[in-house]
Amino acid sequence: MRIRTLLLKVALGILAVGTVAFMIFILPNIKELMQAVIPNMAILQPLTQAGLAGTGICFIYILFQTFKLILNIDRNEAFSESTIKCLKNIRNSGYVMTGIYVLLMPIIYLIAEFDDAPGLILFGAFFVFVAAVIVAFADVLNKLFANALAYKKENDLTI
């Protein structure tokens, strides 16, 4: 079990490093990329940067909460209040990410319209879908773990 959780921790670390690298090296250059694609819509550039920075921060927070969840599993405290709190935080952060991506969809539409690339809209919809799946999965796990914790507390009281 320790090897599996170690593998998950390493994967989370790689995702976190990749996200931070994106936010440091690529996100500042988004302005120039958008200037080349849609030069006459300067107001959209900072909005896009802010949206991508917001989703990056939410994603890093989700990774941190997932790391805490794995630590709970390592300590054999999978069915605890801390785990339920982590899952609620993941769900709420997923809601924020979904909302940001939905708000960015009109910008993606404008870029796709300008560049004549209708597949770009599907690409944007994919991110909305992934964020919504994170929300649904965290919510289902939250309810499952909450029920298991209630059964565990009930069993502790009967013994």
> How wide is the angle at C-alpha 6 spanned by C-alphas 5 and 7, nearest 5°?
90
- The predicted model scores a pTM of 0.88
CA atoms within 13 A on the CB side of 100: 22
Read off the pLDDT of each residue in 45-50 and give the average, rounded to a whole number.
Answer: 88
Question: What confidence score (pLDDT) does residue 9 get?
Answer: 95
Q: Would you say 97 and 131 are in contact if contact means Cβ atoms under 8 Å apart?
A: yes
What Cα–Cα distance (Å) separates residue 4 from each residue in 7, 8, 34, 138? 5, 6, 41, 20
> What percent of the chain shows pLDDT beyond 70?
99
Taking Cα atoms as reference points, which of 153, 134, 133 lies closest to residue 145? 153
The mean pLDDT of the chain is 90
In single-letter form, the type of residue at position 70 comes to I
Structure tokens at 23: 């936010």
Question: What confidence score (pLDDT) does residue 155 get?
Answer: 83
Instruction: Name which residue leads in pLDDT, 39 or 159.
Output: 39
Question: What confidence score (pLDDT) does residue 22 get?
Answer: 93
Residue 16 has pLDDT above 90, yes or no: yes
What Cα–Cα distance (Å) separates residue 2 from each residue in 35, 78, 84? 48, 14, 22
Read off the pLDDT of each residue in 75-92 and give the average, rounded to a whole number.
Answer: 93
Burial readout 80-107 (b: 16 or more C-beta within 10 A, e: otherwise): eeebbebbebbbbbbbbbbbbbeebeeb
Structure tokens at 18: 């990749």
Read off the pLDDT of each residue in 13-21 and give the average, rounded to a whole number.
Answer: 96
The pLDDT-based confidence of 51 (bands split at 50, 70, 90) is very high
Question: What confidence score (pLDDT) does residue 159 get?
Answer: 59
Residue 64 has pLDDT above 90, yes or no: yes
Residue 114 DSSP SS3: helix
Tens digit of each residue's pLDDT (9 = 90 or more) over 84-121: 999 999 999 999 999 999 999 998 888 888 777 778 88
Question: What confidence score (pLDDT) does residue 93 get?
Answer: 96
